[in-house]
Amino acid sequence: QVQLVESGGGLAQAGGSLRLSCVTSGSIVRINAMAWYRQAPGNQRELLATITSGGRANVADAVKGRFTISRENAKNMVYLQMNSLKVEDTAVYYCNANVLTSTLRTMDYWGKGTLVTVSS
């Protein structure tokens, strides 16, 4: 009923930048909070940043000052601007959205992930 698709991942050099995008589509009544997570091999999935429907953002300490989350509600889009990339940022990055659907149920939905690889 709801699909999320990430884009913008790929290869980057340490110190460089990437911008990840995620579009949400389907039987959407309202998108509440959106978020970005990442997961490196052998690690737990890590919450990076959240943003409310009104644009209030929170960023995890591990990436604060380097990563910025934003959204465009009219496009059902959320973005993650990643600057000053480090090798340890290498991971699969996942988009998440809490969505009220046409069935009048609120659920969290996930994208399939996009791989970010940072080389030195």
Mean pLDDT of 82-96: 98
| Residue 117: both structure tokens together | 């690889």
User: In this predicted structure, what is the pLDDT of residue 2?
Assistant: 97
The tens digit of pLDDT for each residue in 26-77 reads 999 999 999 999 999 999 999 999 999 999 999 999 999 999 999 999 999 9
Contacts of 30 (CB under 8 A, 6+ apart): 53, 99, 100
**Which residue type occupies 68?**
T
State the Cα–Cα distance between residues 29 and 72, nearest whole angstrom.
Answer: 16
The tens digit of pLDDT for each residue in 43-55 reads 999 999 999 999 9
User: In this predicted structure, what is the pLDDT of residue 57?
Assistant: 98
Going by pLDDT thresholds of 50, 70 and 90, the confidence category of residue 97 is very high
Q: What is the mean pLDDT of the chain?
A: 97
Mean pLDDT of 85-99: 98
Mean pLDDT of 82-106: 97
